Amino acid sequence: MEKIKIAGRDDLKLKGTVRVSGSKNAVLPAIAASLLTRDKVELGNVPLVKDVHTMLTLMKGLGADFHLRRNGLSLEVKTISSAEATYELVRAMRASILVLGPMLARSGKAVVALPGGCAIGLRPIDLHMNGLQKLGANITLKHGYITAEATQLQGADITFEKKTVGGTENLVMAACLARGETVLRNCAREPEVVNLCSLLVKMGAKIEGLGEETMKIQGVAELGGAVHDIIPDRIEAGTFLVAGALTRGNLLLTEVEPSHLITVIDKLRISGAKVEVKKNKIRITGSEVIRSQDITTSPYPGFPTDMQAQFMVLMTRASGTSIITETIFERRFSHVNELLRLGASIEVSGDKAIIHGPTKMSGAEVTATDLRASASLILAGLVAKGWTVVNEVEHIDRGYENIEGKLRRLGADIERLSG
Ligand code: EPZ
């Protein structure tokens, strides 16, 4: 098992420039979208993270040919040779569920393992299945597998009970090849959903209302290929912005989309950091005094749940008490116990974490439980005096491209140890 070892310093100030990679949560549905056509789909700005490799292994099993290069990925699914997404792959990555809609729409059948448990919450997929049933799919669940079948999907008017990123993505993809008009209401408005929809439009789909709560999709008989760039990863960017504020440093982020980070930037400014925004660039200058504040996670454009753990670390250095309310996932405080090991002062009560600051943390051995929790432990390790060793770092590789290399170039003393 690999570990990450960090020599933390209370007076560390990160400095320099960091290039933001392409978005993990945008590229995964874009890869699944290539199932909707037999023509070639070319994706640019693809992050070389573990989840991309897992998704490509799954796609290969379904019949896809692909070429992954440093500067891009080309995919071609001339025919879907197998309709099955196995438990082994789905267990490794829940986003595998995103092949359900496009496979069903393209070939009339999809057999996908039901994703099991997850560290951050129950994460059911009932809204995906209800929506596909409303498009006329016959869905059965047996031996842990969902079987979805439909000779021809039919357009329908569907309202999501709650906002779901993956549910919106699966339904939009399926509706593109359904007969007639589909109206989707209470859609997720995340930039990753919009990036997927703009790819689908380039492939020939007819979609109105990109980025809005209601989208209208006119089904078409078939879709073609496209050339498309993946948006920058706003969560990776947010993680580095917090690193800049946390270490009272001075960082320039390049190849980033500031308009996707408005709420995060607002909160950083409230905490006292100076944030300057230019085209595809953000400069953050940390302040000596970090101010406490309350944060509530919510669907986009609200404060992203994927930034909650990282912000919690910043609030451990803030003067005063901060309350973080997690409204999206019911078990997304597992990083708290590990931060307590580093000397933070945090209490959890239901969906709220109460952070008392400022605290001086000291290095210790900790264990990551999920992707964003591992990012928060690395951030904490930067400013916890002495050595911090983060175990189970495979979580971090799922969504961050070479995070320790990027941090080292900014002045952090961080290395990866093989187990
Ligand atoms: C996406 O997950 C992201 N993953 C998550 O990022 C992110 O945390 C989440 O959206 C929320 O922003 C990818 O894009 C690959 P949801 P997703 O469906 O689509 C409930 C990361 O760290 N729900 O929007 O799975 C669900 O349980 C990951 O990069 C249902 O009840 O999230 C949750 O409480 C973690 N039934 C809420 O809705 C459903 O059918 C939002 O989930 C679907 C969801």
> With a 6 A CB cut-off, is 338 part of the ligand 1 pocket?
no
Q: How does DSSP classify residue 230?
A: P
Nearest alpha-carbon partner for 353 in 371, 335, 372: 335
Q: Is 118 a catalytic residue?
A: yes
Angle value at C-alpha 158, between 156 and 162, nearest 5 degrees = 165
- pLDDT tens for the chain, 419 residues long, are 899 999 999 999 999 999 999 999 999 999 999 999 999 999 999 999 999 999 999 999 999 999 999 889 999 999 999 999 999 988 889 999 999 999 999 999 999 999 877 889 889 999 999 999 999 999 999 999 999 999 999 999 999 999 999 999 999 999 999 999 999 999 999 999 999 999 999 999 999 999 999 999 999 999 999 999 999 999 999 999 999 999 999 999 999 999 999 999 999 999 999 999 999 999 999 999 999 999 999 999 999 999 999 999 999 999 999 999 999 999 999 999 999 999 999 999 999 999 999 999 999 999 999 999 999 999 999 999 999 999 999 999 999 999 999 999 999 999 999 86
Cβ–ligand 1 distance for 128 under 6 Å, the answer yes
> Residue 70: its pLDDT value, please?
84
Alpha-carbon distance of 354 to 346, in angstroms, equals 5
Residue 416 backbone phi and psi in degrees, to 5: -100, 135
Residue with tokens 């789905």: 90
d(CA 191, ligand 1 centre) in Å? 14
Query: Which of these is catalytic: 118, 176, 187, 197?
Result: 118
* Per-residue pLDDT, 418: 84
Ligand 1 pocket member 25 (CB < 6 A): yes
Question: What is d(CA 357, CA 363) in angstroms, rounded to the nearest whole number?
Answer: 17
Residue ID of nearest Cα to ligand 1 atom 25: 166
Q: To test ligand 1's pocket by mutation, which of 123, 127, 325 has the most ligand atoms within 8 angstroms of CB?
A: 123
CA of 351 to the centre of ligand 1 (A): 17
- If one counts every other C-beta atom within 10 angstroms of the C-beta of residue 259, the result is 11
CA–centroid distance, residue 98 to ligand 1 (Å): 12
- For 321, phi and psi rounded to 5 degrees? -105, 135
Alpha-carbon distance of 29 to 93, in angstroms, equals 13
Q: Note if the pTM is more than 0.75.
A: yes
Contact 211, 194 (CB under 8 A): yes
Please tell me the number of Cα atoms within 13 Å of 36 on its side-chain side.
Answer: 38
Largest CA distance in the chain: 64
- Separation of CA 167 and ligand 1 centre (Å): 8
Q: How does strand 72-76 pair with strand 40-44?
A: antiparallel
Which residue minimizes the CA distance to atom 14 of ligand 1? 25
Helix (H) or strand (E) segment spanning residue 181? strand 181-185
Interatomic CA distance for residues 336 and 94, integer angstroms: 23
Alpha carbon nearest to ligand 1 atom 28, residue = 306
